[in-house]
Amino acid sequence: MPVAAPFKTLALTLTAFLTLCSAGSLANDLSSEALLYRPTDTLSGWRQQLNALQHYSGLECPDTIAGLHRAGVTPDIADTGPGCRYEGDFGEEVVFRQHRATQLIDMQRRFLSNYEESGFIRVKGPSDSITFKTDSMGDLKTLESLWALQGEEKGFTLWISTIENHRTESTRILKAFEELSARIERRQDDDFMFEPNG
């Protein structure tokens, strides 16, 4: 029995509306799948995994880590390597990058030089970091810190911008990314062990 014209029009309108609603919810979804627009394989060197993105170089970026949410990926530039940007609920901003192990000293020197030339004040930061005070708003001060995490095959840098009052957050975040970088190194070693002989 044919469907009456008014019901057919209503069904088509409802279908179009639901399609638009689902597209809008994907645009606001911070998960890996939405960030990559649901590819079948890879996009710009990134592959979707369960709750994470993985770069072809081996860098892994979880959707969430240490209470932070991944907000995007950074370009894979020859001098810096691929990375991911994270944001936290208390205004924390974090960038985690993977480099060749030999690049770490250069990355630290560049960070130190650029911040000193910008007139920022170097302060004592959390363990083994290069830290600058970059902004003051009333009693709150923004601190930006850089850590170099040396692995056997790869090097990693972790940059954190946080309000001084949340300084303990930096230590907690650092520990989580140290564990992540160690896991990436272990996985790359395991992948190498199981590569077929050429």
Residue 17 has φ and ψ, to the nearest 5°, of -65, -45
Residue whose structure tokens are 């691929």: 82
Question: What does pTM read for this prediction?
Answer: 0.72
∠ Cα 123 126 129 (to 5°): 75
CA atoms within 13 A on the CB side of 118: 13
Please name every residue paired with 159 in a beta bridge, in sequence order, or none if there are none: 95, 146
How buried is residue 132: exposed, middle or buried, by Cβ count under 10 Å (0-12/13-18/19+)? Answer: buried
Looking at residue 180, its pLDDT comes to 96
Cα distances from 135 to residues 118, 119, 139, in angstroms, run 12, 11, 11
Encoding tokens for residue 114?
Answer: 């650029």
CA distances (Å), origin 170, targets 70, 81, 86, 163, 175? 16, 23, 13, 10, 9
pLDDT, residue 189, reads: 63
pLDDT by 10s per residue, the chain, length 198: 554 555 455 444 444 444 444 444 434 444 454 444 444 444 568 888 889 999 988 899 999 999 999 999 987 776 778 999 999 988 899 999 999 888 889 999 999 999 999 999 999 888 789 999 998 777 778 999 999 998 877 899 999 999 877 778 888 999 999 999 999 988 876 654 334 443
189-194 long-range Cβ contacts below 8 angstroms, 24+ apart: 189/152, 189/153, 191/58
Beta bridge partners of 94: 86, 160
pLDDT at 190: 61
pLDDT of residue 144: 94
Residue labelled with tokens 């944001």: 87
